[in-house]
Amino acid sequence: MIPLENFLLLSAVLFGIGFYGVLARRSAILILISVELMLAGVSINFVAFASYLDPEAFSGLIFALFVITVAAAEVGLALGIVLRIFRERRTANVDAIDELKW
């Protein structure tokens, strides 16, 4: 059988790569993609813990479901905001968006 540590290490690697993407990417949509990677890593962790350690209550599965739902809502709302900013400023580069009011 696969030990639990394998899944934890896989999710750690996925989370780290996503974190690198959030810090290094400059396009707002690519930052969203990196956030999706981080959320996928967290979901693997939740599901692995629920499946290995908590088979009676399996709260981790429910949390993973909520993570996926909230990620979908987040992407929809963030894309609306990015499109609005792009229409006003003609850019989606987060370095160029540095004013609270215009």
Partner 1 sequence: MFERLPLPSQFDRIIVTGTTVVALVGLPILIVLLVLLTAGQISGAELVFWMASAVIVAGALGAVLVPNVVHAALALVATLLGVAAIFLLLATEFIALVQVLVYGGGVVILLLFGLMLTNAADDPVVTDGSQKPFAALVGVLLIGIFAAAALDAEWAGDVANIVPFELFGERLFRDFLVPVIVVAILLDIALTGAFVNARRERVEEPAADEEVRA
**29-88 residues near partner 1, rule: CB under 8 A:** 29-30, 32-34, 36-37, 40, 43-44, 47-48, 50-53, 55, 57-58, 61-62, 64-66, 68-77, 79-84, 86-87
Considering the complex, what minimum distance in angstroms separates the CB of residue 23 from partner 1?
3
Contact flag: residue 96 with partner 1 (CB under 8 A): no
Q: Are 43 and 75 in contact (CB under 8 A)?
A: no
Among 23, 14, 17, 72, CA closest to 46: 14
Which is closer to partner 1, CB of 55 or CB of 99? 55
Q: Are 33 and 21 in contact (CB under 8 A)?
A: yes
